[in-house]
């Protein structure tokens, strides 16, 4: 768990302008401690399952105790099925994510207080929400999560992934207003709701591509009047409902981690819904897909008082031709944002 630096006496805190949005007089909030690679081993060790796992056919069992069907990992070699991994994913796990993304989850869990709530937008098979719930329960926290995924097959994978890890889940489908109403219903014994929709700033109908199982880069945006996606790929598209951030963020409790991976529209989504996020989200992990999005998020959230704990830029190769900047990205970046206004030690 990272040490938190107290604001020194006499230093400038946050203020509010006439629009009600918090502002700070400089771009350093004086509270957020950066997470560096030297912090990764201790943070990731906090996720380790001390129990010795038995291998299971078709599955890779991670050092964190999470069981994943190798068929859900498009970039993983088939021979990983039936194996147990005990190594920390530093600098990465070799098939899905880098250490920074695991560190973001670890930071959210180690700073949670009694309960843990995660919302994952662009969830795929819901690896982060299910890992968060599994580990939170092991740590004695009461855990719930929402996994938002527009692709029908991958949302079905999320339900299977939940079952494989003994997480009670329900699938939420329907028109935008129907989904919103369902999310307001009591949870009962459900730990995870898988929402078959796109996360957006309005309830509407959007276009989403028909994807090959190995294509993890689907996005809701298409070039107007064409069948071309942000990478320049020609794909068939179909209508999907959208769900808003306000629908996803529970009015009665704080969301400990908002995990967003929406392939090129991250700043468009998060800036439009910033007020909802500011009031309900402690930590926000954003998969970034181009330098423009990275800069826009920094320009917007830093003046609002948020701290940037992890800033790992995306990797781009400007070789082929693509219709958008995100199309040149070969490895997503990660930004982990901390909302100091929801810290227990932040002054009222």
pTM for the whole thing? 0.86
Listed range (82-96, 201-215, 254-268, 284-298) with the worst mean pLDDT: 201-215
pLDDT tops 50 at residue 5? no
So what's the pLDDT on residue 41?
98
So what's the pLDDT on residue 239?
84
Q: What are phi and psi of 166, to 5 degrees?
A: 60, 35
Residue 12 — pLDDT band, cuts 50, 70, 90? Answer: very low
Residues 118-135, mean pLDDT to the nearest whole number = 97
The structural architecture, per CATH, of the domain 94-342 is 3-Layer(aba) Sandwich (3.40)
pLDDT tops 50 at residue 21? yes
Q: H/E/C letters for each residue in the chain?
A: CCCCCCCCCCCCCCEECCCCCEECCCCCCCCCCCCCHHHHHHHHHCCCCCCCCCCCCCEEECCCCCEEEHHHCCCCCHHHCCEECCCCCCCECCCCCEHHHHHHHHHHHHCCECEEEEEEECCCCCHHHHHHHHHHHHCCCEEEEEEECCCHHHHHHHHHHHHHCCCCEEEECCCHHHHHHHHCCCCCCCCEEEECCEEECCCCEEEEECCCCCCCCCCCCECCCCCEECCCCECCEEEEEEEEHHHHCCCCCCEEEEEECCCCCHHHHHHHCHHHHHHHEEEEEEEECCHHHHHHHHHHHCCCCCEEEEEECCEECCCCCCCCHHHHEEECEEEEEECHHHCCCCCC
Residues 157-168, mean pLDDT to the nearest whole number = 98
Residues 100-105, mean pLDDT to the nearest whole number = 98
Backbone dihedral region for residue 291 (phi beyond 0: left; psi -120 to 50: alpha; all else: beta): alpha
Residue 7 — pLDDT band, cuts 50, 70, 90? Answer: very low
Backbone dihedral region for residue 274 (phi beyond 0: left; psi -120 to 50: alpha; all else: beta): alpha
Residue 140 — pLDDT band, cuts 50, 70, 90? Answer: very high
So what's the pLDDT on residue 74?
81
Encode pLDDT of 39-58 as tens digits.
999 999 999 999 988 999 99
So what's the pLDDT on residue 316?
72
Closest to 172 measured CA to CA, from 229, 248, 117: 248
So what's the pLDDT on residue 11?
37
Handedness of CA 235, 238, 239, 243 (dihedral sign): negative
Give CA 275 to chain center in angstroms.
18
pLDDT tops 80 at residue 152? yes
How high is the mean pLDDT of the chain? Answer: 86
Pairing of strands 307-312, 333-338: antiparallel
Closest to 135 measured CA to CA, from 39, 308, 257, 33: 257
pLDDT tops 90 at residue 347? no
So what's the pLDDT on residue 229?
63
Residue 223 — pLDDT band, cuts 50, 70, 90? Answer: low
Pairing of strands 237-244, 205-209: antiparallel
pLDDT tops 80 at residue 217? no
29 vs 117, higher pLDDT: 117
95 vs 342, higher pLDDT: 342
Listed range (147-161, 229-243, 259-273) with the worst mean pLDDT: 229-243
So what's the pLDDT on residue 85?
94
Residue 232 — pLDDT band, cuts 50, 70, 90? Answer: low
Cα separation, 257 vs 234, in Å, equals 34
């Amino acid at each position: 768990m990272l040490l938190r630096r107290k604001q020194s006496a006499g230093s400038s805190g946050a203020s509010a302008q006439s629009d009600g949005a918090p502002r700070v007089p400089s771009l350093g909030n004086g509270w957020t401690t950066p997470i560096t690679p030297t912090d990764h081993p201790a943070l990731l060790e906090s996720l380790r399952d001390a129990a010795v796992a038995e291998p299971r056919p078709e599955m890779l069992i991670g050092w964190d105790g999470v069981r994943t069907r190798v068929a859900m990992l498009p970039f993983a070699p088939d021979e990983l099925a039936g194996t147990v991994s005990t190594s920390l994913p530093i600098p990465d796990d070799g098939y899905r994510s880098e250490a920074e993304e695991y560190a973001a989850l670890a930071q959210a869990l180690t700073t949670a207080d009694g309960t843990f709530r995660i919302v994952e937008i662009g969830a795929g098979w819901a690896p982060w929400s299910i890992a968060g719930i599994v580990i939170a329960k092991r740590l004695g926290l009461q855990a719930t999560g929402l996994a938002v995924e527009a692709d029908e097959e991958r949302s079905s994978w999320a339900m299977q992934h939940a079952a494989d890890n003994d997480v009670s889940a329900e699938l939420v489908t329907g028109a935008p207003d129907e989904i919103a109403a369902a999310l307001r219903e009591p949870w009962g014994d459900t730990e995870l709701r898988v929402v078959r929709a796109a996360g957006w700033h309005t309830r509407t109908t959007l276009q989403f591509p028909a994807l090959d199982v190995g294509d993890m880069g689907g996005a809701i945006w298409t070039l107007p009047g064409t069948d071309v996606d942000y990478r320049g790929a020609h794909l068939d598209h179909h209508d999907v409902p959208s769900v808003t951030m306000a629908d996803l963020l529970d009015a009665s409790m704080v969301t400990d981690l908002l995990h967003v991976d929406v392939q090129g529209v991250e700043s468009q989504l998060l800036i439009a819904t910033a007020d909802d996020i500011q009031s309900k989200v402690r930590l926000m992990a954003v998969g970034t897909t181009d330098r423009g999005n990275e800069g826009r998020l920094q320009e917007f959230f830093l003046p609002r008082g948020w701290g940037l704990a992890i800033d790992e830029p995306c990797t781009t190769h400007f070789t082929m031709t693509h219709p958008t900047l995100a199309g040149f990205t070969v490895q997503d970046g990660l930004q982990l944002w901390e909302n100091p206004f929801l810290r227990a030690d932040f002054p009222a």
